[in-house]
Amino acid sequence: MEEKICQSCGMPMRTADDFGTNAAGTLNQEYCVYCYKNGAFTQDITMNEMIEHNLNYLDEFNKNSDTKFSKEEARKEMREYFPTLKRWKR
* Residues 62-80: tens digit of each pLDDT: 898 888 999 999 999 999 9
Q: How confident is the model at residue 90 (pLDDT cuts 50, 70, 90)?
A: confident
Answer whether 88's CB lies under 8 Å from 82's CB: yes
Phi, psi of 20, deg, nearest 5: -70, 180
Find the angle CA(65)-CA(68)-CA(72) to the nearest 5 degrees.
130
- Residue at 15: amino acid letter: T
Domain extent, residue 27, equals 4-88
Answer whether 6's CB lies under 8 Å from 31's CB: yes
Answer whether 0.75 is exceeded by the pTM: yes
Domain count, the chain: 1
